Amino acid sequence: MGATGSIGRSTLDLIGRDPASFHVVALSGNRNAELLAKQAIAHNAELAVLADPSGYSELKEALAGTPVEAAAGEEALMEAVGRPVDWVMAAIVGSAGLRPTLEAVRQGTCVALANKECLVSAGDIFMETVAKSGTRLLPVDSEHSAGFQAIDLNVRESIEKIVLTASGGPFRTWTAEQMAKASPQDALKHPNWSMGPKNTIDSATLMNKGLELIEAYHLFPVGPEQLDVVIHPQSIVHCLVEYSDGSVLAQLSSPDMRTPIAYSLAWPARMWAPTERLDLVKIGSLSFEAPDYERFPALRLAREALESDNGATTVLNAANEIAVDAFLDCRIGLPSISALVAAAMEAADRAGLSKPRSLDEVLDLDEQSRGLARSLLKELK
């Protein structure tokens, strides 16, 4: 799911290098019918599904004369997710991935999770479904994959702290005044990672790390007070796990998403990946800094949302998506992203925010929060 996006393309790159080990059942994309058709043909998929039904004719035409079945729309996507498979990559960006990813989890198979919203907006509901269905959930975010590899669940009571690292993004050394004048082009120049535009902007504001804190809370056996963030500009160390005896276990690798994707594809074994090997002598030194909550308030907002436990994380995520879109369209400046999220969270809290108890309630709150953010957006102009 999400084959045409950054994670999807990297996943298929790995699968394509070892076709004897994998059989692709279904691929889904959002609107890019041309790329999805090429991917489906190249990887001998049985089915290709576009989420946007307006592209169905283009997809069907592109697949004419091939054995690949074409389909489009939400119902077709849900049908594809229900097909019997051993492994699913859940990489649909945004809240659009909630329902199909949850359906994949219900199949009781192995789900590689690259969709943040499942845990940020619906963490309790999602993890309850994982437990009930017996699904093996493999985190794909580099930090959570690293934590998954460094955590010894046999001694979970000995875990004192889990520390996620952040590169600091393109504005790590910028002043607040400089950041106020930053353009989308500036924010999209990530120093280490190649990601889609939404994740790249979130990395620039550190909202990405805030969302990852919320994800880590649901993935790992720790409380909010046991989660921390440290700035690590080299993006070599991805997560550190501190234990009660003073030991710290960390996972290191070059900043390439194919490493955590390969780990999820081959788990519990490992597979070869065409990633740059670490040369610590050449790197020379690794540095770490405390995050600046004044210049990057998104990190503070995410922690506040997590600690509130009242649905605020759903509001946070929805408002942030609206704000990022507005910034990419040059309708607001970079600081207004966090300002809009803060305003939406405050307004939702005043209106009597309560924790959603079902996926439908999550989606309703998500829709309401987007509407609230859009109305507040007018006040920021």
Domain spans in the chain, listed from the N-terminal domain onward: 6-139, 144-283, 309-380
Q: Is the pLDDT of residue 202 over 90?
A: yes
271-317 pLDDT, tens digit per residue, is 999 999 999 999 999 999 999 999 999 999 999 999 998 999 999 99
Close Cβ partners of 373 (under 8 Å, ≥ 6 residues apart)? 318, 319, 322, 323, 340, 341, 344
Which residues, including other chains, have CB under 8 Å from residue 341's CB and lie 6 or more apart?
207, 298, 301, 316, 319, 320, 323, 373
How far is it, in rounded angstroms, from Cα 143 to Cα 160? 17
Query: Quick one: CATH architecture of 6-139?
Result: 3-Layer(aba) Sandwich (3.40)
- pLDDT tens, position by position, 10-44: 999 999 999 999 999 999 999 999 999 999 999 99
pLDDT in tens, 1-11: 999 999 999 99
* Domain boundaries 309-380, corresponding CATH code: 1.10.1740.10
| The predicted structure's pLDDT at residue 261 | 98
pLDDT given for residue 256 in this prediction: 94
Residue with tokens 């999805």: 36
Averaged pLDDT for residues 149-163: 91
> For residue 149, what pLDDT is reported?
95
How does residue 381 score in pLDDT terms, banded at 50, 70 and 90? low
Instruction: Assign 155 a pLDDT band (cuts: 50, 70, 90).
Output: confident
What are 225's two structure tokens? Answer: 């007070």
Has this prediction a pTM greater than 0.75?
yes
Residue 194 scores a pLDDT above 80: no
Distance (Å, whole) CA 204 – CA 194: 13
Residue 2's Cα: distance from chain center in Å? Answer: 12
